[in-house]
Amino acid sequence: MDITPYSAGCGALVAGVQLADLDDKGLEVLRRAYVDHGLLFFREQNLPPEEHLRFARRFGDIVVNKFFKTTDAFPEIAEVRKEKTQEMNIGGGWHTDHSYDDEPAMGSILVARGLPTTGGDTLFANLYAAYEALSPGFQKMLAGLRAVHSNRHLYGEGGYYRQTDLSEQLGGIDRVGDAVHPVVVRHPQSGRNVLYVNPGHTIGIEGWSKEESAALLKFLYKHVDQPQFTCRFHWEPGSIAFWDNRCTWHMAENDYQGQFRLMHRITLKGSALGEAA
Ligand code: SIN
């Protein structure tokens, strides 16, 4: 197996392995790479849904997304689907999956199933690198803060997605909720401190006014969204991205209007997140 950095500051490309045939030794190498990089890309994989599930279960338990449709045959696989006639896509802004849960998802494994001929890339950001680039004084100020995360503004009654042509695809209107996590968490596997706020789901800083929260979050979001912390993944048939939701953001480009795109996503169960060390 060959693991090389994908870009200067974000992700790694794993070559020389078929995930469907991964042996236990290979699994250990991948587990290590997942902790070290937080974002792994694979090309030319042959991973039908049964094998996608089998691979995911080797990493942990699966958590089913409350809002997306699942495939008919595999209720643990969510569909990230955009029809030719649809304008809105799923995940079109920077976010990390399930940060609105008390136990946010550990990771997500996204497999390309139907791709547009142009566009439809996914962008990723490395939140370790972004955090480590902040000054020690600023890091210290962030350490005591907690942020509120929610999905109500997206999937609840009158929420953003409910007012778009994505609405018919969504369930879970009665399953919305909020969670509070430290702004800087200690990553459960790596033990490293990492910034844990995201534009999609973080709605404010606990105990701060709306304006104060907005000012801090705006600064942090602009800081993360810089070329040295981000990368772009162009999907090809057989491509897979496997990311750690505790230390990355992602965002699906919506630049392929009139074309179909279908991805299969399995999300892995995580645990409650503790404060920075
Ligand atoms: C997602 O937010 O999980 C979807 C990413 C993508 O479709 O590229």
Report pLDDT digits (tens) over 80-118.
999 999 999 999 999 999 999 999 999 999 999 999 999
Q: For 58-89, give one letter per residue: b (16+ CB within 10 A) or e.
A: ebeebbebbbbebbeeeebbbbbbbeeebeeb
Residue with CA at minimum distance from ligand 1 atom 7: 252
Q: Locate the domains of the chain by residue range.
A: 2-86+100-270
Beta bridge mates, 193: 186
Whole-model pTM: value is 0.97
The correct CATH number of 2-86+100-270 out of 3.60.130.10, 1.10.240.10, 3.40.630.10, 3.50.50.60 is 3.60.130.10
Residue 12: per-residue pLDDT: 98
Residues involved in catalysis = 95, 97, 250, 265
Residue 195: per-residue pLDDT: 98
* Residue 277 reports pLDDT greater than 90: no
pLDDT one-digit tens code per residue, 207-248: 999 999 999 999 999 999 999 999 999 999 999 999 999 999
Residue with CA at minimum distance from ligand 1 atom 2: 91
* Residue 174 reports pLDDT greater than 90: no
For residues 225 and 125, the answer to whether their CB atoms sit within 8 Å is yes
What is the CA(91)–ligand 1 centre distance, in A? 5
Verify whether ligand 1 is closer than 6 Å to residue 276 (CB atom): no
